Amino acid sequence: MEVRVGSVEDVRRDGCRTVDVNGRRVGVVSVGEEFFAISDRCPHMGASMCTGSLSGTLVAADPHEYVYGKAGRVIRCPWHGWEFDIESGRSLLEPKRVGLKTYRVTQQDGEVVLHV
């Protein structure tokens, strides 16, 4: 099933746009020239992920050394700060156990299309 989300320009301007797909909220997120789609419900307590922040996070570089990385690739829950990789949907803290469902997004004729 394909869901037209809006024009590329409009979705980029919004940063994150939510759409209802069979009773589930899906957030379509613009990052530079790319689009990603995730479940809009945090698995912890149900906050809207699209109302959270999109940034990077500290990642291990060497033993006992952390650097800022994954710029624009981490979405953070607005309620409790849970962080998720925007591409894989996996939690940064517990990637094997917790995550957001992800969906494929394409651009067709100047429109953003969500594939569910």
Q: Domain of 6?
A: 2-115
Residue-level pLDDT at 101: 97
**Largest separation between any pair of C-alpha atoms in the chain:** 48
> pTM score, two decimals?
0.90
Q: For residue 111, what is the domain's CATH number? A: 2.102.10.10
| pLDDT tens for the 116 residues of the chain, in order | 999 999 999 999 999 999 999 999 999 999 999 999 999 999 999 999 999 999 999 888 889 899 998 899 999 999 999 999 999 999 999 999 999 999 999 999 999 999 99
How many folded domains does the chain comprise? Answer: 1
What are the DSSP E strand ranges found in the chain?
2-7, 16-21, 24-31, 34-39, 53-62, 65-76, 83-85, 102-108, 111-115
> Which one-letter DSSP state was computed for residue 110?
T
Q: Round to whole Å and give the CA distance between 84 and 96.
A: 12
Q: Round to whole Å and give the CA distance between 108 and 100.
A: 25
